[in-house]
Amino acid sequence: MNAQISLDDDDQLVAELATGMRFSHVDAVCLADWLWQQGVTASEVLITDWHQDKDHAPGSGQRIAVYQRLRLHEGSTD
């Protein structure tokens, strides 16, 4: 399931799934945990790039945190 992540006007991360479901949070790790619970993997995440929309593009640290957390989940055997 694909997910698009961007920043809203209040600088919260917003994930929108292909189903239309949306979730927002200020913490990238919490957002990634929610995505994982919805069955989203790192390869299915698209994050708005500053070249596309500089006002709604998450920062590099946020991008790294989302991908790293999802990859951590993918590698766990729980």
Q: Can you give the pLDDT of all 78 residues of the chain as single tens digits? A: 899 999 999 999 999 999 999 999 999 999 999 999 999 999 999 999 999 999 999 999 999 999 999 999 999 755
Instruction: Tell me the pairing of strands 3-7 and 13-17.
Output: antiparallel
- Here the contacts of 29-34 (C-beta below 8 Å, separation 24 or greater) are 29/65, 29/66, 29/69, 31/5, 31/66, 32/65, 32/66, 32/67, 32/69, 32/70, 32/73, 33/69, 33/73
Domain boundaries, the chain: 3-75
pTM confidence score: 0.91
Under 8 Å CB-to-CB from 60, ≥6 apart: which residues?
Answer: none
Residue whose token pair is 């989940």: 73
Q: Which two tokens stand for residue 78?
A: 């729980």
